[in-house]
Amino acid sequence: MACVTVHHWADRAGGLAELRRVARGPVVIFTFELDDLVAWQRDYFAPALALEQPRFGTVEEIGAELGGDVRVERMETPADCTDGFFEAFWNRPELILDPTVRASQSIWELLEPGVEDRIVERLAAELESGKWDAEHGVLREMPSYEGALRLVISEPA
């Protein structure tokens, strides 16, 4: 199993093919389909996501690189998710303002100087003004969100 890691691999295709080659049973990749992040994250974090998308690839690309008999399962993110991955804060955007939360997310390291500050300043301003809640506040009431989380499962052929 590879958990939210393939976007860090220098040779994702080679690594996935090797996983499938050596595994006797299923290979499971826990990843994201970034196009399915909650709308506010796609909007606010567009500069970062543009850099991440090629690194993550699509679930179709990951499945093809794994080979074998592949299926993809969507996963919900609970409202109180304690993991620090990006989508975990789909309903609690104020946590993204915390530099220690952002420090646990590799996406911020990709940005040119100043971009992270502009993203955080915009989010802070729109939370303070109430704009974020006016547009997205309904998310705070949802018990879970089916967004970008995916399990890509490859069984031996």
Which residues are within 8 A (CB) of 106 and not within 5 positions of it... i.e. 6 or more apart? 7, 8
Q: Determine what percent of the chain is predicted with pLDDT higher than 70.
A: 100
- 3-state SS assignment for residue 83: coil
CA angle 155, 69, 18 (to 5 degrees): 65
35-44, 80-89, 93-102: range with lowest mean pLDDT: 80-89
Q: In degrees rounded to 5, what are phi and psi of residue 74?
A: -80, 145
List, in order of start, the domains of the chain with CATH numbers. 2-155 (3.40.50.150)
Mean pLDDT, rounded, for 59-86? 93
Position 1 pLDDT exceeds 90: no
How far is Cα 55 from Cα 132, in angstroms, rounded to an integer? 29
pLDDT score recorded for residue 92: 96
Query: What is the per-residue pLDDT for 85?
Result: 87
Per-residue pLDDT of 120-141, as tens digits, reads: 999 999 999 999 999 999 999 9
Query: What pLDDT digit, counting tens, does each position of 26-70 carry?
Result: 999 999 999 999 999 999 999 999 998 988 889 999 999 999 999
